[in-house]
Structure 1
Amino acid sequence: MEAEFGQPVYLKLTSGTAEVFGTELAKDTEYEFQGRKVAVFSWTGCTLMVKGTPITEYTAGETPMASYLNAHLALELVRADAHESQGYDEEHRTEGPRVLIVGPSDSGKTSLTKILLNYAIKEGRSPLFVDIDPGEGTVTVPGSLSATPLVRPLDVEDEFSATPLTSSTAPFVVYHGYPRPGDHGALYKAQVGRLAEVVEKKVASDVDVRTSGFIINSPSQFTESLGKELMYHAIRALRASVILVIGDERLYSELSRNASKESHSVSVVKLAKSGGVVNRDAKFRKQLEHRAVREYFYGTKRSEISAYSTPIVFTEMNVRRVGEIAAYLTLGAESRLSQTRMVRVDPGDALLNSVLALTSVEAPPPGDKGEHMEDEDKIAVAAVAGFAVV
């Protein structure tokens, strides 16, 4: 079922059992959807009442849900072994699965991510949700990479927007700032590496996370030729132990051949693309981005919050962005600067309506090219404390 933005569609389960991406629907409870593509699944059959006018609405005869459930059960066996091994000495302890989901655009990667997270949580696990796709924005605003421990199933209506209610702690976030990671590959690698460091510390310190493992949602650019290098970097940095490939035979074949070359054990599994997955055009994606930003500052219809407004003198803050270094070079000159080097942004109309990521890293004084420049490089991988709109 597909609901248009601004035209809510209401769904109610009147009999039987059903779920939306692994989250069970409560009987006789009305759910509101708009700007969403929703797949309702039932293992035993159900009756639904739909109110409103969805763009599309149909019943699929075949779904890959059985294979998705089998994938979950295989992952659960690894978690059970890891849980049992925690009583052994450190040398013989094992970890939960580190699952990377890859596939082309609109293949159902995020849908499978939600299903596997929800199924794991219903088993009593506390998996990490690691989002390295900066294109859409799940836990926070678009352009971000994040790691979030979850303890409750995702909300049916609000999904990841209700993460503060489903997470045991605040997410760790770094701000990439661009929708396609391949356009700033060095920056993306540095940020994925920083995210991996934080994830490793969480795994080492939290036994529940260590035994539950994590699910990684990846960008569709990983399936493109220019994105393969970034994909293999993510596999190694996050030490992915299971790679689920959706709807891409060529990528599955390539990963299967190369899995034995990795320094750690990697299993590659091919899964079918759901027949209910539909392509999202540029207009729909832009609306999703706008909604994600708005929900960060104002919450959702069911959980409204108030944005905090305050004037700040520009002399009391420093604004940086990743420099487009090539634009500042003369013809034939070579750049000696790091591709993650920050460039100062002066106050002006160019900042109006911009979204800024807030960090506590101290920026060096203007023109300083000495000992403080290492702090400048840290801005690119610094943890984000929050976001602001100018």
Structure 2
Amino acid sequence: MQAQAAPRREVLQKETELRLEVKENHSLTLKLVKGQAEIFGTDLLEQQIYTLRAQKIAVFTWEGCELQLQGIREPVEDAIEVIYESGDTPMREYANVHDLLQKRRAAALTHGSEGPRTMVLGQTDVGKSTLCKILLNYAIRKDCAPTMIDLDPGQGSIAPPACVGATPVEGPIDVEEGLPVEMPLVYFAGNVSPDPNPQLYRHHVECMAALLDKRAQSNLQVRAAGMMINSMGWIDGLGYELILHALNTFRVDFVLVIGQDRLYSQLGSIFRGNQSVSVIKLTRSGGVVNRPRELRKSSRDQRIREYFYGPRNDLQPSLVTVPFANLRVFRVGSGFAAPRSALPIGGQSVSNPLKVTPVTSMNDLMHMLIAVSHAQQPDQLLSANIAGFIWISSVDPVQQVVTYLAPCAGDLPAPFLLAGTVKTFLR
């Protein structure tokens, strides 16, 4: 039997961070031996062992610490793609932003007013999700529970990709399993970008904002804790228009722009003179790297797999075979409505991007992620919350049956399903 490889020791000075990337299909353990350290704002406990699987992290310390890395099936060096220490971090900036938001929360709690509604903006791969995690975790340390809102359908931190969602964050974000999600509010966009159907994206943003406003008005603690909104990385053209729509719909009053002079200038001009909105430019962390399109696609596929099998691959989803006729599958959108200027006088567009139509061909569903809606009627599919997801494993046109993967055994929780364009192969 091969002896376990020796652990690797790392000693960090105060206000520095250890940046490391665990290779795909590899894992290692991390332990805080002594001192203080955190991962994206989540405090590490001394002597507790954390397992890191194919992920990029930064272990930051305000006071200095000693860490121990241990390979699980191999030496640490074989499991790591990159590892280095850096003292060039934006954490002091981020902590100052947290202090600003926390003062607003304290004032809101005292006066019964609204807490900070914060949106993080920037291009793809600038660290938007990381900043959201840090600020959420810092709020949790102060006994506040902001509502996390993810408006980026490209990756999916609350639900699988092709969704927008919201969830209260009442505890620290787990280092191993990520955002704690129990009863999320989820809408299925059907695509990993709003581009194919921006009207549907706007509709979901408006539905979500209305429901969250109602929840905030009925609960002082929720109202004072505020919102943390992660935006998509599409910031030009139509993407910019959708960002402005979301800013106005959610009535955002703190706009955090990471490393984008042009976007910062544009928004600064729009909100100049508006005393209720603060536009703040923040430094991009040197540890953030641009991912190629293939890697982002692989990350999306992994998120879908984790939905069914869990981050630790310890869940047991169920394969179910049913007649296709038993599944009531719909798709939103039948093309884009032509502008009025392009129509004959008195003419009406026959194309409607919010039209709900049934899916009649089972062949289109092969290997597709399907949303299970809480809707009780087809006309509720646009506004109803999503109950969960299934994945189409196989179709048999001869027998007219479909086999799908579900998170658990038993009947689906609702009768109506929504199809989009997201396909993957779950091995």
Smaller-chain TM-score bracket: 0.7 to 0.9
Does 2:71 match 1:59? Answer: no
Displacement of 1:298 after TM fit? Answer: 2.1
Q: Give the superposed CA RMSD.
A: 2.2
The one-letter code of the counterpart of 1:194 is C
Does 2:278 match 1:267? Answer: yes
The residue correspondences of 1:12-91 to structure 2 (distance < 5 A) are 12-51=31-70, 52=76, 53-86=79-112
In 1, Cα distance between equivalents of 2:99 and 2:164: 28
Query: Matched residues, percent identical?
Result: 37
The residue correspondences of 1:207-218 to structure 2 (distance < 5 A) are 207-218=220-231
Does 2:358 match 1:344? Answer: yes
Query: Which residue pairs with 1:242 in the alignment?
Result: 254
Query: Which residue pairs with 1:310 in the alignment?
Result: 320
Structure number with the bigger relative contact order (C-alpha 8 A, sep ≥ 6) is: 1
Q: Do 1:35 and 1:288's aligned partners in 2 also have CA atoms closer than 8 Å?
A: no
The one-letter code of the counterpart of 1:175 is F
Give the gaps of 5 or more residues in structure 2.
1-19, 71-75, 338-342, 393-427
Moved over 6 A (4+): none
The one-letter code of the counterpart of 2:264 is Y
Higher deviation after alignment, 350-359 or 124-133: 350-359
Does 2:187 match 1:142? Answer: no
The one-letter code of the counterpart of 2:181 is T
In 1, Cα distance between equivalents of 2:349 and 2:315: 45
Q: TM-score, normalised by structure 1?
A: 0.87
Please, which of 345, 360, 367 is the counterpart of residue 374 of structure 2? Answer: 360
Q: TM-score, normalised by structure 2?
A: 0.80
Query: Which residue pairs with 1:370 in the alignment?
Result: none
In 2, Cα distance between equivalents of 1:193 and 1:311: 37
Displacement of 1:260 after TM fit? Answer: 4.2
The one-letter code of the counterpart of 2:127 is G
Q: Do 1:325 and 1:335's aligned partners in 2 also have CA atoms closer than 8 Å?
A: no
Displacement of 1:299 after TM fit? Answer: 1.9
SS in 1 for 2:63: coil
SS in 1 for 2:270: helix
Q: Cα deviation per residue 1:78-109 (whole Å; 9 max; x = unaligned)?
A: 000011113xxxxxxx1110000000111100
Displacement of 1:261 after TM fit? Answer: 7.5
Query: Which residue pairs with 2:389 in the alignment?
Result: 387
Give the gaps of 5 or more residues in structure 1.
87-93, 165-169, 365-374
Displacement of 1:157 after TM fit? Answer: 1.1
Query: Which residue pairs with 2:406 in the alignment?
Result: none
Query: What is the total number of aligned residue pairs between the two structures?
Result: 360
SS in 1 for 2:360: coil
Query: Which residue pairs with 1:204 in the alignment?
Result: 217
Query: Which residue pairs with 1:175 in the alignment?
Result: 188
SS in 1 for 2:85: coil
Query: Which residue pairs with 2:6 in the alignment?
Result: none
In 2, Cα distance between equivalents of 1:324 and 1:339: 6
The one-letter code of the counterpart of 1:272 is T
Q: Highest Rg: 1 or 2? A: 2
